[in-house]
Chains A and B, each alone.
Chain A
Amino acid sequence: MSSLQMPKVDNAIMSKKDKIASDLRGIINSKNVLSNPDELRPFETDGLTAYRQMPLLVVMPETVEEVSQILKYCNENKVKVVPRGAGTGLSGGSMPLEDCVLMAMGKFNKIIEIDYENRCVVTQPCVTNLAITHAVQDKGFYYAPDPSSQIACSIGGNVAENSGGVHSLKYGATTNNLLGIQVVLMDGTVTKFGGKAMDAEGYDFLGLMTGSEGLLGVITEVTVKILKSPEVVKAALVGFPSIEDAGNCVAEIIAEGCIPAGMEIMDKALTKATNDYSKAGYPTDAEAMMIVEFDGTEHEVEAYIQKTKEIAEKNNSSSLKISKSNEERLKFWAGRKAAFPACGVLAPDYMCMDGSIPRGKLAEVLNEISRLSKKYNLPVANAFHAGDGNLHPLIMFDANDKESLRKCEEFGADILKYCVKVGGALTGEHGVGIEKRELMCEAFSDKDIQQQLTIKVALDPNSLLNPGKVYPILRKCAEEGRVHVHGGKTKFPDIPRF
């Protein structure tokens, strides 16, 4: 993997390691300060496993007061701090720095309150996304955003990354499902933004913090909205003879006023790979395959499925299957959710990109990816949250071959640049982190970036909180960025990814 430039290591801090450890042991329970390399090793990387770095120390606070005191101490002593939730992020947002204190929030793992009257859950940040739904599903409620890693990812991490998921077209991403957070700023200030009311007074700091990738504060409590589960959920599996037909079908479904709960497209390469891997019963002869899911009342879902059928046929669909049971619907999804491991079978390594494009540009962008694939002579498979324009190309390569890796990196950067060129974004849901940092200048002008950095400095004048993430360090558009997987070994191979 290419080397990554991080903020300059502060040698004075490095040499004071023992003193800092001892000071921190005076603030929190000494067993919660880790300093031996063996203890630090598990924290050297997150879901972006291509990059590894041991932190100086790891602290595992147990209370908000401890978080506040640690940050205050680090701020006063100019020690960098990297916050970490479950460590499943795909853009390296919680990758440690050599001279940092890594703040692992794992002990904040309890749901504080379930409030059905106000339809919300108040929870500590390291409770998993799925655990929130589990806590309220017996009463027929759920938490809507569903990143595919929801079994393992933490809700605090979801807030930091503004995580999306299959259902974000209809239900929005984390930011649209959040009511409040408690945050500790770098100077130790503890405050709450939002609460159980639907809006909060003054500037929307809740909105600012959401998706700020751990650069502005450490989240210590989260209040999320919960929704009543829909009565009926049905999915259709549709095959198309061309990507263009599938793309047109997506655009027409949206234009007709149907907002599906989820709408996914895979190209032929991925359809075949996932079908071989999970035996999902996909139409492997189709050039593109779409899964579209509707939820609501029985009549509503029927009406939308009927409409989808008509639109699909008009757009030359080659096959169409409607789920007859919940089991069948989940089977439709099983292949899609196995997209990552299925690719691991096809090549020694692959990179997962995360670009966002206008829905109508799908065919154009996929054609460009296909052209680039020939140019770089590397195979690619495409998965696409078609409903909201979030594209995940998986580039296959061999990391042991330096030339192959170099080509893959260039290929990936070319794809993201093209996404921006057609009016899209560098990242739809994985975040910028260290992964796409140097590509920020493709999307933003110097003034745009400067404005964001000014906000960062306003809240963290010494730039100690998660430095080196999101904003370019090299100040040039370097060819970097993607999730790298070797031999199908992701950090968490059992977590669905897409």
Chain B
Amino acid sequence: MSMEEKQNSQTSLDFNQNIFKPTSREEIVEIVKTCYRKNIPLEINGLKSKNKIGRNFQSEKTLDLSDYKGIIDYKPEELYIKVKAGTPLKEIIGELDKNNQQLAFEPNDFGYLFSGESNSGSIGGVVSCNFAGSRRFKVGSVRDHILGFQGINGKGETIKSGGTVVKNVTGYDLSKLVSGSFGTLTILTELSIKVLPKPETSKTLIIKNPHLKKALDFLGKALSSSTDPSGGVFYPDYFGKDFVLNDLTHDGGLTAIRIEGPTNSVDQRANRLSKELGLLDQELSILDSEQSNIFWSRTKNLEVFKSLKSNLLRIVLPMSETLQVIQKLKNFEIKYFIDWGGGLIWASFDQLNTKILSEIKDTVKKHQGYITLIKVEEDLKASADIFTIDPIKYKISEKIKRSFDPKRIFNPGKMYTGI
């Protein structure tokens, strides 16, 4: 009997319960080993802020990781934090705040969309979904900030990859692979995440402008300038009223560009950018740090879709294609906003069915992008593909899934049928 097995036999798992709420890694290992042996599929949950994203699937038992939480090690001067996967994002952010540091990838808070109030979820969930906020084009996605992880594979073996240092090319970079895998490859237990200093100042240029074409032109120029912006969004007229802020003097469509860094540099760059874009005073509002932070937090929280019942799609595509895709999507009743400086569309559809969806998918695919169904009505969810994949990648995904989870017990079918 190995050391690990000896340890396991010391825990006493009541396998009759349907929801497991482990507090130790040993318990998780035992649960997985039992499920592996008995072929029992598991649904893996953190704080359930995003568990409605993905396909419906059959699972006999639920693994709830919300009690597997806590900060293991935080070294501000080494720019990393190591946490257990069930740790609430809020707790991590609160700890980083004390040292004026942040998670630069500003993950979306899906709580507003799914439950009407903030629920930023657990760090394990954030990593499993890999949805990054507005700084995406500057700092990368969630996966770019994961230095290493420890997890349990589908056989109940504890595995790790990476570490806590930024430079590390030892072996395959599995931290990337598990990011965005929606809990289908491994149960994350520990995560080491890169943290960064908060910028001293944040300023946001808000340009009064209802036209998408012009907005994309502004955003394209801003992202190609040496003024180094860290956020770029466009909200059409119907969303303008959602941003009532002291320094915002109009309520129509708007293009917003964020500049962050040391105070004097932010001022210099903001001025230069407004000159480079040829902006007139009457079409420009400038938000200072506090209001700027409120604006981007509302964007990150998808607050314009707060009361949305259903049909929210997330569309990622090359910026050059955004205008054409939106023009085609306007054949349907949609409301949308643009993030990532033009590379991401959040779009809600009044009506969505299999036929419309396949039309949208074709359009987006033609323009080298892809769609994820974030919130759709149950009957559509049952019949439609939530994620898109081509046959070759499906085949590779199937092999990779098997290499981690040979009996398909982790969230089986959550991403694709058979995976």
Interface of A with B (CB < 8 Å)?
A: 115-119, 140, 161-162, 164, 168-169, 172-173, 175-176, 185, 189, 191, 193, 195-208, 210-212, 216, 228-231, 251-252, 254-259, 296-300, 303-304, 356-360, 385, 388-390, 423-432, 436, 440, 443-445, 447-452, 454-455, 457-459, 470
Contacts and interface: CB of A to CB of B under 8 A. Distances in A.
B369 A197 contact: yes
Given A202-B397, A299-B268, A451-B153, A358 B165 contact: yes
Interface in B128-168: 130, 132, 136-137, 140-141, 143-144, 153, 157-161, 163-168
A196 B340 CA distance: 13
Contact of B393 (A169, A202, A357, A447): A202
A316 to B, nearest CB: 19
Given A207-B143, A297-B227, A389-B166, 10 more contacts: A175-B173, A175-B176, A205-B396, A207-B173, A208-B173, A255-B77, A300-B265, A303-B262, A424-B163, A452-B174
A458 B400 contact: yes
B161 A448 contact: yes
Contacts of A175: 144, 173, 176
B226 A455 contact: no
15 contacts: A164-B167, A176-B144, A195-B368, A196-B368, A205-B177, A205-B400, A211-B169, A212-B172, A299-B265, A303-B262, A389-B165, A443-B171, A444-B171, A447-B157, A449-B171
A162 B170 contact: no
Contact of B370 (A197, A427, A430): A197
B116 interface: no
B261 A455 contact: no
B196 interface: yes
B402 A458 contact: yes
Contacts of B158: 445, 447
A424 B165 contact: yes
Contact of B168 (A119, A203, A356, A458): A356
Contacts of A454: 403-404
B171 A358 contact: no
Contacts of B179: 204, 207
A275 B317 CA distance: 50
Nearest to A226: B224
B167 A459 contact: no
Contacts of A216: 172
A254 B79 contact: yes
B170 A204 contact: no
B167 A297 contact: no
A350 to B, nearest CB: 21
B375 to A, nearest CB: 18
Given A191-B392, A299-B265, A429-B167, A201 B387 contact: yes
A191 B396 CA distance: 10
B396 A360 contact: no
B198 A257 contact: yes
B331 interface: no
B75 A428 contact: no
A196 B137 CA distance: 12
Given A432-B171, A455-B400, A210 B343 contact: no
A349 B29 CA distance: 49
Contacts of B370: 197, 200-201
Given A208-B176, A257-B200, A356 B165 contact: yes
Given A172-B140, A203-B181, A448-B161, A443 B393 contact: no
A201 B389 contact: yes
B172 A208 contact: yes
B169 A161 contact: yes
Nearest to B317: A197
A260 to B, nearest CB: 12
B197 interface: yes
A425 B167 contact: yes
Contacts of A198: 136-137, 141, 316, 340, 343-344
Given A198-B137, A254-B77, A257-B198, A119 B161 contact: no
B327 interface: no
Given A230-B226, A428-B167, A204 B177 contact: yes
A119 B316 contact: no
B261 A423 contact: no
Contacts of A204: 130, 143, 176-177, 179-181
Contacts of A193: 393
A300 B165 CA distance: 27
Contacts of B177: 203-205, 207-208
A413 B294 CA distance: 52
A200 B343 CA distance: 12
A-B interface, 6 closest residue pairs, ranked by CB to CB distance from nearest? A207-B176, A257-B197, A300-B265, A428-B167, A196-B318, A458-B399
A145 B161 CA distance: 23
A201 B225 CA distance: 29
Contact of B226 (A140, A257, A385, A429): A140
A191 B20 CA distance: 40
B271 to A, nearest CB: 11
Contacts of B137: 198
Given A208-B174, A251-B77, A255-B77, A358 B200 contact: no
Nearest to B402: A458
Nearest to B185: A203
A159 B398 CA distance: 24
Contacts of B236: none
Nearest to B223: A119
B67 interface: no
Nearest to B371: A201
Given A228-B225, A297-B226, A429-B169, A197 B316 contact: yes
